[in-house]
Chain A
Amino acid sequence: MTDEGIVELFFNRDEYAIEACDLKYGSALREFGKRISGEAYVAEECANDTYLKTWNTVPPKDPRGYLFAFLSKIMRNLCLDRVRMTAREKRGAKLTVLSDELNEAAPGGDSSDSELLCGELAALISKFLRALPKEKREIFVMRYFYMEELSAIAAHLSVTEGKVKTVLKRLRDKLRIYLSVYGYDT
């Protein structure tokens, strides 16, 4: 079933929408969740929560054309919340690695208003990503949103791992400069 068809089911409040979502994207979402949390059962629970949240938000939201990204976004945030609720020391090594990597783009301190900061940052990063060439944006998104390994990104995009590393390094530098222009301390 196409994304448009599934979204249409959500709009029609047809419960088959959830089953259709799971059939089409369930395994990918669970895999994604497992990458974030490191636990299969957490991924499974988060996937179910993702469907519920999607049911509650579509409509009014209309993710035609980017349904998987929409689901992944919910899944990611749910999994991260779940991970953050558990003991901090139990956070996946991967989250630490990625956060450390992104520290290069933001070697700053604390924020006084993390909610506001997150929203503003997201808007700026959206703008930043929109201005990037497609391939670079894909590499950035695969690494820092979908949390893929460098080798997996290289294999998926048929480029060398070295190229992925280089692109990511340059993008982090570029992002740091970009954010500093908008008043974020670097």
Chain B
Amino acid sequence: MAKYSGEDIFLAIGEVDADLLAYPKRQSSYGRYAKPLAAAACFVLIVSFVVVYFVKIVFGGAMMEDKGDNMSQGSDGFDSNSGNGSGMAPGDVTSLGCEIYIYPEGHSLTATQKQPKLVLNVTNSLQIPTNNSDIITLYVPEAYADDFEINVLRVTGNYEKCAESEGIHDYLGYSSELEGIKGILILLSGEEYYFNIEISDTHATLTKSNAP
């Protein structure tokens, strides 16, 4: 067996193939961190995709609902910001793309059209500031009037159609005296939505209820 020393190796290194002896190019300090940075970027990207996918799976239904809502509002010239942003189950009032505004008597719809104070939402409890009025007005876009059977609003008080008298063209309004109202029943495309009404000195609170 051949013997050799460190010096032999040192000298032999001088005889190795020249193509292996290229002097390395200087690496920038960026090069030192390039791999870790690339790995970190990939990790962040993958996590982002996972999170987005997760959010889409969990909240996808609600997001689609909102999207459809806003789109149909836009087609009617409504401000899309006025749509209900909260998640709603299929069959909600707004899922058909309409909004129901409820205002205290005397409130101008046109003045607040862009930012309605209240949007009737079957998932929410709504408080209607009554402004010491004893009448509330419920507006629905006229384009969706056919979807509503407004005349079945079940109230104990007097409820009357009032839109024409206020000169509002795109909405149908229905007013009722707060006094004596126990609830509102809306029939929308064959489905019933019932809201209990509780009246205090300053507010009328609508709460969705399953049974009239």
Contact = CB atoms under 8 A, between A and B. Distances in A.
Do A and B interact with each other, yes or no?
yes
B38 interface: no
Given A101-B6, A114-B8, A122 B21 contact: no
B21 A73 contact: yes
Q: How large is the interface on A (under 10, 10 to 19, 20 to 34, 35 or more residues)?
A: 35 or more
A175 B4 CA distance: 13
B146 interface: no
Contacts of A111: 2-5, 8
B211 interface: no
Contacts, number: 139
Contacts of B4: 106, 108, 111, 117, 121, 179, 184-185
A145 interface: yes
B20 A126 contact: yes
Q: How large is the interface on B (under 10, 10 to 19, 20 to 34, 35 or more residues)?
A: 20 to 34
A158 B31 contact: yes
Contact of B32 (A109, A118, A159): A159
Summarize A's interface: helix, strand, loop or mixed.
Answer: helix
Given A156-B24, A158-B32, A159-B32, A80 B6 contact: no
B26 A73 contact: no
B201 interface: no
Interface in A7-30: 28
A157 B10 contact: no
27 contacts: A63-B18, A76-B14, A77-B14, A99-B5, A99-B6, A102-B7, A102-B9, A102-B10, A103-B6, A106-B6, A108-B3, A117-B12, A118-B8, A119-B12, A122-B15, A125-B9, A126-B16, A126-B20, A129-B20, A142-B23, A146-B23, A157-B27, A158-B27, A158-B31, A183-B2, A184-B1, A185-B4
Interface of A: 28, 63, 65-66, 68-70, 72-73, 76-77, 80, 95, 98-106, 108-111, 114, 117-122, 125-126, 129-130, 137-138, 141-142, 144-146, 156-159, 175, 179, 183-185
Given A111-B3, A137-B20, A156-B27, 17 more contacts: A66-B22, A69-B19, A98-B10, A106-B4, A117-B4, A118-B12, A120-B2, A121-B12, A122-B12, A125-B13, A129-B16, A144-B9, A145-B13, A156-B24, A158-B26, A185-B1, A185-B4
